[in-house]
Structure 1
């Protein structure tokens, strides 16, 4: 069978469950914006994924607009990228069901993120939380996406997407779906907690001081970085010296990612410096980079009709790509439509 040729196309999405924080920006949105112009880019607010755990309806709508505002404030251009929320394109759920019937139970049982999220309560979580990796595969393959920018913790889901595509193609003797490639990020693809460098920065952390919220103002951003946990030693003379220093490593990585540098370049500038020099420099640079985004997000959030218009126009563009691919999928599977 001749290998099909697919248009280079990026797809990725962010869940609107809670406020956006620095990890979302550096690990995802900043990278998404940087990929505009390299190939076709389709970005989504994955509200269907959000309801795998219960969401307050008003908060879900507000959170969806906040993620969209974050994309836009960070520089995503709706004339260059498609931006929409997942539930406005019904084909995601439709293809998700077909992939539920392609994916194998053994594959789903190996998904480490489900085990992490369900914990000891696995019998009481929703079926959606268990099955959502097949919906994620549908999100990607519905657009024949060839590349997915993800963090290291999501790489397993892209591997599952490849497995589902390969099995569908094998079972139906076709070459219809691409084997999507994960695009793993740079120095700060995984942003850690400002109070504990061994834990990922999270929207659900106990203290607001653990994270930088993307709606934090300049004073709050500066205060959080200046009070971030460090250790007694100055910065090392080389990156290897950060190995067993999780808080130091995290702050260096954040500086590098915000300033489009490598950790090696940061250490070349600050190696040997104490925290009294580095943390104020980090705070000033973070304010310069993040405060304009925060201000633009707030402006957009004050105009929900504009956000809704952009999402609606994006959904219409997404459907133009998705619906023919879903129709062809139905034809391959043998679904009769009068």
Structure 2
């Protein structure tokens, strides 16, 4: 659990944080979202004491972080940044072992753990352990950074725009892989992004910030359905409908097959947004839904998708 109580950070006359109070429950993934300069990275760095608040208190568990040694505190957390920060003179395996080595783990234990983490993030140890950062693609380097953050099995992960420096297809794959990892590991995660779609896709809750303050703190569905302030409504913009559809499972909208067999189909695992986009692209009003073998098992109608969004609005 992470808790912020009236956290203020001033730099001279400038107030980077203006009294932030919120709680991240254990095992929850919370995104700090907002435009550049809104205070999200500043808030994140108060957790591991890279930035000290001017006022207020940050708790990790039930402990005030001011009473903890900063170095020890940071060694007990996973921290991933956009620029990754791998040590260029160290191999991939050595990079992943950095924190376990600092914690005094025996060589055999830290090597085994590092290899386990590389495999967990989709990097075969036999292939990647001996490589150096210069030999990695951007996506591979981000995976190494995530493996390093997980190596000492920290309860808390702090991720600052971790996928921001890679191309969109790679970013989407990394998001999918990270969501899969999080479903297995259930870490307490604070994730900074300026990307609304990324926040909606990955978050249990979104904290939308503006000018060092919290504008709204809610699950994605609530944020998209009921913006609380004019700023929130403006930030969400016209993409709200599609983003709401991305959070609606397709399963509850599927109807039984009738005599008409749609010419275009979509997998049962797809989101309502994917179905809506496929219907718009094809110019159709009805879409087939197929199971894992490709067999048609139902259909979904454009009217049903639009009605689902209207119900959410209400």
TM over 0.5: no
TM-score for both structures, normalised by structure 2: 0.27
Bigger Rg over Cα: 2
TM-score for both structures, normalised by structure 1: 0.25
Higher relative contact order (CA 8 A, sep 6+): 1
